Structure 1
């Protein structure tokens, strides 16, 4: 993770500072159409789900301060992925229980029409289960943890973030882990009932990088696995080395054979999780990490944002496509001339030749494309761009910048400094711009 810390790092003692809604509403760095909680700290999307006609977003949340601490599960619902209603906390640590030090990331499945959450409790890292009738009140399984330790003989630096799916007559589960001194892995389990689990094997294993001592930074530990079909292929991604790595390939029974791989989301995006929307499409959200100091986050009273909802699909050659959900087009307002002049907008740029392009805010570059090095820079992030024509879909929202390059490369960044107006450098072959309507008047995305 950037700044030399991972999402598991303790970021300091609790702050009890309260932030008025007016302070948040007047913060020009706070997004206006990306999802985020009313205040304080958020990180991973835990178990986004489509259930009984609504989207539910669960997420890692510290209700007490704008910094990482004992994790809870925040909860919000939406009919359209644009307008969200914040609900009470779904999961909180149980004193003396296996999740006493935090309810970490997990997933949600539906068993016999009833929602079930599988998540990681700490410390130590164990897997727990909770059930609900309505997704609002949750009852933790009295026999928690359902998986109390890694498999015998596996020395792993971590054991967390379960991903569960139904496969015929049984349930399958992946857990992020690693082989100490060797590399990260995802461990595959099976169960007839979500309670009793049998370890099968590693589904895929990587290699540890030399240098970093932190197991996630070095790739010795993989976290937040997700695995699902896209077209006639299967997509696996994990978060490690400060980024999100993916593999696209085929699955036969319990064997996954990668055919291509890459970075799913560049820059601020991390720990993505997906949702099966009525079997019609898959939707991915990622946590957009802050790229400013801890002190600035505490002063602002909030930290973290969810990414846009992104839909994966395959191109004609079987390669991975990543496009923002069409719902965001509903936010389009008036067309803007040449380039947008505020920080809540969408810009579509086409570059056919070796043409540089950039967007500046107050004279400082927000985004830049360099045709000589074939790189796109967004804030602190640089991402490679293949040679040839370039199609950029750019979304600006307060401090959040998301760019989709040729519908194949997803780049995210954070650029602070408020609404100082935007200007453009370069001469693109075509450019379209729209103001995007905020989803609320108080930057609370509700």
Structure 2
């Protein structure tokens, strides 16, 4: 269930000041139960309890990485949308900080502080961090979220605190309404960038019966904005649904950034995340896509990127649950952040993805059970924890099956005749310079797999009981090399402190 479906399921009972009625029925889950839940990841970022979704405004500031994300302080289901906050020295180990933004009862975000971006600007001899986010209020007559009586506007907040703990909000929205004359299907999730001395903002939107789009604005000061045009547009698939994101009429969480001499646009729609690489004309400020594809084939949504201290482009995404609302309430937690992924472009404009290399610092020296014959390698990841790298041989088939109690979680197959990989019912061609390779991490109830730096797939899995079972990996075919490790937790209680 994606975030808009959760909004639809709960918006009818949103109470005054944006507090969801669902929060009243929150299950009280104590820290001991949370810490002992084997399905809670050990080395992914998530709050100590309750619901989380989209990454918001990740930024490197004052020597630390700051991650904000959508959060319900009241329950393990969607509601009371706020910006939670964590900080890290390395994008791996995290410290919980106070919730940064919460709805203001009489403000433009009284029904929720939705997703957005941050940016650092010079201020008073130092630096100030601005957050631009979508505020939501109840307004049936002017709704921008179809059939839900909610109106979206773009709001501004800022922090002069070295640790970004305290924030001040501008009282009025900087964009109170969408452009006149457009029959839009949504208006949210602003993305910020600087270009030739101006600030540019794109906002996720869509045109009714036409398709999703990103609306482009320009400002000299982050406060006064001029609408220019849709910077990029998509196509409606012709289906009729209550949620325009599900049929391509709406784009969520657009992100536009420069990368290796070109520009990359990322957006979420049709329950998937898409990427396009191309050019941004500096005169017309129109984006021309040249290549594109899916960013992840599995349970991965609403991503956001940032630059790290070394200038690398880092991708973060929300990994949602694939279980019932009742199960989430009982567990007391829902959702997690993906591991950081480094993005780059190949010379032909293909997006390349790799897990953050520094994650190897979590590898344990302890070996993992492995058996190997001429035709097969079998590995065991005890208590659903481990990391594997595998390289295949060019021209020889390779098949990787990740299994839990004999049931397959994910299958990955290299097809030498096509020089392509089949994963999650899709085939993706590899370029001639890439041999088949796999980088895979398993953490409690999640698999993140990167194949040949070309395709990613994130998968959730569940089981009963108080102990995590072993995950088994069978590799057959032309195997050149396999390495595997246990992965150390980033906290001693799974509560990520």
Ranges in structure 2 where 5+ consecutive residues have no aligned partner = 11-20, 138-150, 371-378
**1:159 aligns to 2:187 (yes or no):** yes
Q: CA-to-partner distance for each residue in 1:268-325, whole Å, 9 max, x for gaps?
A: 1000001111361111100001111111111111000100101101224332110111
Q: CA-to-partner distance for each residue in 1:415-439, whole Å, 9 max, x for gaps?
A: 1126211223343513211111011
Alignment counterpart, residue 313 of structure 2, candidates 268, 282, 286: 282
**1:416 aligns to 2:455 (yes or no):** no
Q: Indicate conservation of the 8 Å contact 1:45/1:58, yes or no.
A: yes
Residue 141 of structure 1: aligned partner: 170
Q: CA-to-partner distance for each residue in 1:143-191, whole Å, 9 max, x for gaps?
A: x211011111011010000111122221110000011110000000011
Residue 393 of structure 1: aligned partner: 439
Residue 381 of structure 2: aligned partner: 341
CA RMSD of aligned residues (A): 1.9
Q: CA-to-partner distance for each residue in 1:26-81, whole Å, 9 max, x for gaps?
A: 11111000100000000000111000100000000001111001200000100011
TM norm structure 1: 0.94
Residue 9 of structure 1: aligned partner: 8
Structure with greater Cα Rg: 2
Residue 168 of structure 1: aligned partner: 196
Residue 30 of structure 2: aligned partner: 20
Residue 44 of structure 2: aligned partner: 34
**1:350 aligns to 2:364 (yes or no):** no
TM norm structure 2: 0.85
CA distance in 1, matches of 2:345, 2:490: 31
CA distance in 2, matches of 1:13, 1:298: 10
Residue 445 of structure 1: aligned partner: 496
Alignment counterpart, residue 287 of structure 2, candidates 256, 259, 272: 256
Q: Indicate conservation of the 8 Å contact 1:340/1:434, yes or no.
A: no
Q: Indicate conservation of the 8 Å contact 2:55/2:316, yes or no.
A: yes
1:5 CA displacement: 5.9
CA distance in 2, matches of 1:294, 1:310: 29
Q: Indicate conservation of the 8 Å contact 2:50/2:332, yes or no.
A: yes
1:326 CA displacement: 1.2
Indicate how the Cα distance of structure 1 residues 147 and 165 shifts in structure 2: closer, same or farther if over 3 A, else same. Answer: same
Alignment counterpart, residue 94 of structure 1, candidates 104, 114, 119: 104
1:128 CA displacement: 0.5
CA distance in 2, matches of 1:126, 1:59: 18
Indicate how the Cα distance of structure 1 residues 322 and 206 shifts in structure 2: closer, same or farther if over 3 A, else same. Answer: same
CA distance in 1, matches of 2:452, 2:286: 31
Indicate how the Cα distance of structure 1 residues 364 and 306 shifts in structure 2: closer, same or farther if over 3 A, else same. Answer: same
CA distance in 2, matches of 1:217, 1:326: 34
For residue 353 of structure 2, give the secondary structure of its aligned residue in structure 1: strand
Residue 130 of structure 1: aligned partner: 157
CA distance in 1, matches of 2:406, 2:360: 29
**1:115 aligns to 2:156 (yes or no):** no
Indicate how the Cα distance of structure 1 residues 346 and 297 shifts in structure 2: closer, same or farther if over 3 A, else same. Answer: same
**1:191 aligns to 2:237 (yes or no):** no
For residue 436 of structure 1, give the secondary structure of its aligned residue in structure 2: coil
Alignment counterpart, residue 412 of structure 2, candidates 369, 374, 392: 369
Ranges in structure 1 where 5+ consecutive residues have no aligned partner = none
Indicate how the Cα distance of structure 1 residues 7 and 80 shifts in structure 2: closer, same or farther if over 3 A, else same. Answer: farther
**1:425 aligns to 2:440 (yes or no):** no
CA distance in 2, matches of 1:355, 1:320: 23
For residue 329 of structure 1, give the secondary structure of its aligned residue in structure 2: helix
Indicate how the Cα distance of structure 1 residues 376 and 346 shifts in structure 2: closer, same or farther if over 3 A, else same. Answer: farther
